[in-house]
Amino acid sequence: MNNLNEITVRKLKGVSALKEGELHAFGIYTIQDLLNHFPFRYEDYRIVDLSEVKNGEKATVLGIIRGMPMLQRYGRAKNRLTCKVEVGGLLVTAVWFNRHYLAEQLTLSREIILTGKWEQQRLQITVTHSEFADAAGGGRAGSLQPVYSIGGNLTQGWIRKLIGAALEQYGEWIPEVLPAQLVEKHRLMSRAKAVELIHLPDDVKQGQEARRRMVYEELFLFQLKLQAYRSLGKRRKDGIAHVIDSASIREFASTLPFELTDAQKKVVNEILTDMRRGSAMNRLLQGDVGSGKTVVAAIALFGSFKAGHQGALMVPTEILAEQHVRSLERLFQGTGIVVGLLTGSLSDRKKRDVIAGLQMGIVHVVVGTHALIQEPVVFHSLGLVVTDEQHRFGVNQRSVLRRKGISPDVLTMTATPIPRTLAITAFGDMDVSTLKEMPKGRKPIKTYWVKHNALDRVISFVRKEAAAGRQSYVICPLIEESDKLDVQNAIDAYMQFQQACPELKVGLLHGRLTAAEKEEAMGEFASNSCQVLVATTVVEVGVDVPNATLIIIMDAERFGLSQLHQLRGRVGRGEHQSHCILIADPKSETGRQRMKVMTETTDGFEVARRDLELRGPGDFFGTKQSGLPEFKIADLVSDYEWLEIAREDAGELTESDGFWSGDTYKALRETILKDGLFQSEQLD
């Protein structure tokens, strides 16, 4: 078998050591790399009827030379060549710039193919490419020409020829990688055919068909990894089969200060069913801000405790960790559950105590920041890991625990609703539960967008809310370039509000405060001894003070949509009507669009969808560590349907026993293994 990935491009005629180095810059080392360097668009050189070309459009037409060429020179090395050409019965002027050497070839009655911009009023074509119809073949005319992302000293013409030669020499050796039944099911071209036609299509439709095949392949192979991971997780029986009786859960639920929504009940059942199984749970809990995810996590942690195991709740910030400890202690009152806190800023002694408690099994639930799984924490019997407000916890981190030799159940809760297309990409290996309903009695938050000059009115709103016993947040943007400015900004706003509202207590919370100071500021706000909290985005995720009914976001144009939605979610958590005021004078159109989206909808899934539209999938998560792969050819937005189809196919295949043994899928199993996501023993 000829492995195209082992043959270097040097083997092709015309690839010198120098050229080879230039190809490397584009990631092209082997014949396989070269053939997989797909064009990103095509240049259309097919001959059309001039009468069908609109004014200003670029087209390729066939003409006959009817006049003598005229050459004008101006400046140094600059010139303009014109010639009368008959095209479809019309006498037009062809214009070339800086192509003086063509003049002598423009002889009367010769047929010429012109590509260029058509200017109807002046009956003129500005030529970008021309060929003589009687010249020997090999020209561009009459075809679609691929355009590659390539640069430096490599020209489009050269790379086209090189790829053409590679196809001719090695095209037959391109192996099929997809299972035959799937190729048939979706009527796909063979891989060899698709690679050939994606480079050299006869027409647009062929190019599209070839692309469809490659898109499917890319999405399928990607989903295959995730689905294999998921299926393996279910096949392994080394997880913890929690023994949880429903009566104790019901009893615990009855002690809660509110009745669970139907959505919460459904999700709790899905989670408990997973926990009772012998394979490890790997579930994503999606729910809009304020939909009540924390209490769902609490019930799962309670279940783990009842089954004699420990639980860990991981959160992104210390403020959130402290808040969760407080609310869990309240919820677990009378259950005997001991809750511990483990964060970076604890004193060494306190840390040691908690770690020892976990090791001995006398601390049942630990809440901490992500350092938790990295620290040398040994659990007596870890049964459940919940990660909150964290959508950057990728497959790789999830497998960290497993590599430590423990397979606890894992529940991941997302802070922000994620459009389905991204969810099944970034979290494709997980089972998904969604909280589709808000707790009863919630009123949608009213959102307004005002300019900076309305600040006085905004301040009177704050005072009005306080007079009615409610509280307000004032959020100042994080200034990434400058820590100092950022804090200064918050301090300025703090002084401004303090001065403008002398009857109120105003608090201040920003990243430069010590852990104790932060805790104090948060505590005062939570207990309503301070009515206005001026804060940077440290309150972005998860902070829960139901009596706060107004949030003012300064310079709102500096925030992304999902962040704005998260911030807005700090209010509207109780029975009172809540308001969100965005103060912004956006300079860009996207900035204005973002403000509009916020005032138009309070539905997080809708916000996420609009965000994806405005930003594109690459930027959606905003960071490199998003866990979102980069696709070569597939586009997560426009190829969404194929993503769903590929996911289903991959799921079906990996669930069948046939996939995991025998020769039929051996090559596919090996591709999965190469990824490093799997330990080879997992495949045994």
Nearer to Mg ion, 198 or 411 (CB): 411
Using the minimum distance from each CB to ligand ADP, give the nearer residue, 260 or 513.
260
Count residues near ligand ADP (CB under 6 A): 18
Q: Which of 175, 146, 158 is nearest to 9 (CA)?
A: 158
637 vs 634: CA distance, rounded Å: 9
Contacts of ligand ADP in 393-452 (CB under 6 A): 439
Residue 256 in 3-state DSSP? coil
Query: Please, what is the minimum distance in Å from the beta carbon of residue 430 to ligand ADP?
Result: 18
Least Å from the CB of residue 291 to ligand ADP: 5
Tokens representing 500 are: 């403008």
> Which partner in ligand ADP, Mg ion, none is near 546 (CB below 5 to 8 A by kind)?
ligand ADP
Q: Name the residue among 274, 538, 247 with its Cα closest to residue 389.
A: 538
Token pair belonging to 388? 């909150």
287 binding partner (options Mg ion, ligand ADP, none; Cβ < 5 to 8 Å by kind):
ligand ADP
Query: Is 573 an interacting residue with respect to ligand ADP (CB under 6 A)?
Result: yes
- The residue whose Cβ lies closest to ligand ADP is 292
Binding mask 294-313 for ligand ADP (x = CB under 6 A): xx------------------
- Torsion, Cα 252 257 260 261, to 10 degrees, reads 180
Q: Which stretch binds ligand ADP (CB under 6 A): 184-192, 293-301, 454-462, 594-602?
A: 293-301
Q: Rounded to the nearest whole angstrom, what is the least distance from the CB of residue 572 to ligand ADP in the complex?
A: 9
State in angstroms the smallest separation of the CB of 573 from ligand ADP: 4
Our CB check for ligand ADP shows the closer of 63 and 417 to be 417
Provide the sign of the torsion angle of the four alpha carbons 88, 94, 96, 102, taken in this order.
Answer: positive
Interface residue with ligand ADP among 127, 289, 314, 508 (CB under 6 A) is 289
Nearer to ligand ADP, 198 or 580 (CB): 580
Tokens of residue 165, six digits: 């030669």
Task: Name, in order, each residue with C-beta under 8 angstroms of 171's C-beta and a sequence gap of 6 or more.
Answer: 192, 195, 196
Q: Are strands 282-287 and 431-435 parallel, antiparallel or unpaired?
A: parallel
CB 641 within 8 A of CB 326: no
Q: What Cα–Cα distance (Å) separates residue 133 from each residue in 241, 353, 550? A: 76, 87, 73
* Kind of pairing between the strands at 144-147 and 41-44: antiparallel
In whole angstroms, the minimum distance from the beta carbon of 611 to ligand ADP comes to: 18
**Bridge partners of 111?**
64
CB of 330 to ligand ADP, least distance (A): 10
User: Least distance to Mg ion from the beta carbon of 317, Å?
Assistant: 12
Residue 289 binds which entry of Mg ion, ligand ADP, none, with Cβ cut-offs from 5 to 8 Å by kind? ligand ADP
Residues 6+ apart with CB under 8 A from 24: none
Q: Does 293 bind ligand ADP (CB under 6 A)?
A: yes
How does DSSP classify residue 79? E
Residue 477 near which of ligand ADP, Mg ion, none (CB within 5-8 Å, type-dependent): none
Q: Closest approach of Cβ 261 to ligand ADP, in Å?
A: 5
Residue 657: partners with Cβ closer than 8 Å, 6 or more residues away: none
The CB-of-541 to Mg ion minimum distance in angstroms stands at: 7
* Ramachandran region, residue 310 (left: φ > 0; alpha: ψ -120 to 50; beta: rest): beta
In the window 498-557, what residues touch ligand ADP (CB under 6 A)? 542, 544, 546
Which residue from 146, 233, 287, 368 is in contact with ligand ADP, where contact means CB under 6 A? 287
The contact mask relative to Mg ion for 489-528 (x = CB under 5 A, - = no) is ----------------------------------------
Specify the 3-state DSSP secondary structure of 333.
coil
- The site map against ligand ADP for 228-267 (x = CB under 6 A) is ------------------------------x-xx--x---
Binding mask of the shown chain, residues 612 to 641, with x at each position contacting ligand ADP by CB under 6 A? ------------------------------
Residue pointed to by tokens 């010429």:
112
User: CB of 201 within 8 A of CB of 53?
Assistant: no
19: Cβ contacts below 8 Å, ≥ 6 apart: 154
User: Minimal distance in Å, beta carbon 541 to ligand ADP?
Assistant: 9
Q: Closer to ligand ADP by CB, 97 or 258: give it.
A: 258
Burial class from Cβ neighbours inside 10 Å (0-12, 13-18, 19+) for residue 8 reads middle
Q: How many CB atoms lie within 10 A of CB 652?
A: 12
Contact string (CB under 5 A) for Mg ion, positions 400-439, x = contact = ----------------------------------------
Which does residue 292 bind out of ligand ADP, Mg ion, none, counting CB within 5 to 8 angstroms by kind? ligand ADP
Angstrom distance (rounded) from CA 142 to CA 148: 19
Sketch the per residue contact string, 173 through 202, with ligand ADP: x for CB under 6 A, - otherwise. ------------------------------
- Please state, in angstroms and rounded to a whole number, the distance separating the CA atoms of residues 606 and 79: 56
Q: Which does 439 bind (CB under 5 to 8 A by kind): ligand ADP, Mg ion, none?
A: ligand ADP
604 lies in the binding site for Mg ion (CB under 5 A): no
Assess 291 for contact with ligand ADP (CB under 6 A): yes
Stretch that binds Mg ion, among 245-253, 354-362, 505-513, 541-549 (CB under 5 A): 541-549
How far, in Å, CA of 8 to CA of 20, rounded?
9
Span interacting with Mg ion, options 92-100, 536-544, 553-561, 590-598, rule CB under 5 A: 536-544
* Least gap, CB of 547 to ligand ADP (angstroms): 10
Separation between Cα atoms, residue 187 and residue 183, nearest integer Å: 6
Smaller CB separation from Mg ion, 219 or 328: 328
Rule CB under 6 A: is residue 572 a binding residue for ligand ADP? no
Tokens 């459940």 correspond to what residue? 384
Between the CA of residue 663 and those of 1, 325, 667, 669, what are the distances in Å? 16, 52, 8, 10
Q: For residues 446 and 173, what is the distance between their CA atoms, to the nearest angstrom? A: 62
> Least distance from C-beta 290 to Mg ion, angstroms?
8
Write down the residue that tokens 């709790």 correspond to. 268
Which residues, listed in sequence order, are joined to residue 1 by a DSSP beta bridge? Answer: none
Which residue of the chain is nearest Mg ion when measured via CB? 542
260 binds, among Mg ion, ligand ADP, none (CB under 5 to 8 A by kind): ligand ADP
In the complex with Mg ion, the residue whose CB is nearer, 198 or 539, is 539
Could you tell me the two tokens for 26?
């584009």
Using only C-alpha atoms, the chain has a radius of gyration, in whole angstroms, of 32
Q: Are 297 and 372 in contact (CB under 8 A)?
A: no
Residue 33 is encoded by which pair of tokens? 């790399």
User: Quick check: 290 binds ligand ADP (CB under 6 A)?
Assistant: yes
- H/E stretch holding 270 reads helix 262-276
542 binds Mg ion (CB under 5 A): yes
Site for Mg ion in 279-308 (CB under 5 A): 293-294
Q: Are 146 and 160 in contact (CB under 8 A)?
A: yes
Q: Which residues bind ligand ADP (CB under 6 A)?
A: 258, 260-261, 264, 287, 289-295, 439, 542, 544, 546, 569, 573
Q: Which residues bind Mg ion (CB under 5 A)?
A: 293-294, 542
